[in-house]
Structure 1
Amino acid sequence: MKSDGKDIKSNTDKLYKVFSNQHHAFPKASSDHVHDVVVHEGGWETSGSIKLWTYTVDGNVEIFKEKMEIDEANKWVNFSALEGPVLEQYRSYKISFQVTPKSEGGGLVKITIHYGKLNDNDPPPHKYLRFAINVVHDMDALLKE
């Protein structure tokens, strides 16, 4: 499942830096959605580190324990689910963000969710894609101030 891309007005290098190694900034930028992010293993800037997120999606507070992978060359950041409610519905779940600058300024954030359903009748993770788009919008607004 992919988004068409979210246009951003903020500096793409700054936004990529937040997604790759400044997750502690998300609660400030998007407090209605992200409440806390803490390092569980590794560090803020370490590919392979594990973090625990507390957030609200569709009115429910959830946790997301994830392992982060960073691809500096392609400006990709992947978050693979290790624990949390998302794994009660999907046997696998990984969300990826790619930040790409535009020649006329600003940029584009592409969001891709890779998932495997536990049951055929489970819905695709649309609520998590909406959540991610809202968080990108909130961070973009904070960074362009």
Structure 2
Amino acid sequence: MAIDTFDVSTPIKSSVDKFYDFFKFKMSELVNIFPASFKGVELLEGEEGTVGCVKLWHYILGGIPMTVKAKNEAIDDEKHSLTFAALEGDVLQLYKSFNATLVISEGLAKWTFTFEKATLLSPIPELYGPLVIAASTLVDAYLLINN
């Protein structure tokens, strides 16, 4: 099967640096900012904000409780880019590989999902679009309120 991508973008009003720093160093705070979808997170390996950091996330997707063990695979401070790779979890029942890359630019947060379907019947991971847009919007509002 081929590697595919799926992109979503959302406008942001907070500064590029603050938004990037949140997702690089404080992403675990999503449990407090967006408790309807993010139920828990555990740091398993490494240090927050570094390549190789591994976390176990508990989240709700399409009304279904899910887990994913995800690794910070790449961090590019110059491009304000972060890439997370799924190592284990529910998402890998549908995909052989699944990565999420966040690139922040002035006024915009763009998420790109790179995936390889496990079977021909595996859907495009469109449910992740509304999840990351809502998370990005709530983080943006949080950053604007809590300067």
Runs of 4 or more, structure 1, over 6 Å off, are none
In structure 1, the residue corresponding to 2:7 is in which secondary structure? coil
Equivalent pairs, count: 139
| Counterpart for residue 85 of structure 2 | 80
Q: Gaps spanning 5+ residues in structure 2: where?
A: 1-5
From 7, 16, 41, the counterpart of 1:2: 7
Percent of paired sites with the same residue: 30
In structure 1, the residue corresponding to 2:51 is in which secondary structure? coil
User: Does 2:115 align with 1:115?
Assistant: yes
User: What TM-score results when the alignment is normalised by the length of structure 2?
Assistant: 0.90
For the residues of structure 2 that align with 1:115 and 1:130, how far apart are their CA atoms? 17
Partner AA of 1:37 in structure 2: V
Q: CA deviation at 1:65?
A: 0.5
Q: CA deviation at 1:11?
A: 2.1
Q: CA deviation at 1:131?
A: 1.1
The C-alpha deviation readout for 1:10-63, integer Å capped at 9, x for no partner, is 222111001111122111111111122221000112111111111111111111
Q: Gaps spanning 5+ residues in structure 1: where?
A: 102-106
In structure 2, the residue corresponding to 1:124 is in which secondary structure? coil
* Maintained 8 Å contact 1:76/1:99: yes
For the residues of structure 1 that align with 2:55 and 2:139, how far apart are their CA atoms? 19
For the residues of structure 2 that align with 1:135 and 1:121, how far apart are their CA atoms? 28
User: Does 2:61 align with 1:57?
Assistant: yes
| Counterpart for residue 17 of structure 2 | 13
User: What TM-score results when the alignment is normalised by the length of structure 1?
Assistant: 0.91
| Counterpart for residue 103 of structure 2 | 98
Partner AA of 2:88 in structure 1: E
User: Does 2:76 align with 1:71?
Assistant: yes
For the residues of structure 1 that align with 2:60 and 2:143, how far apart are their CA atoms? 22
Give RMSD over aligned pairs: 1.0
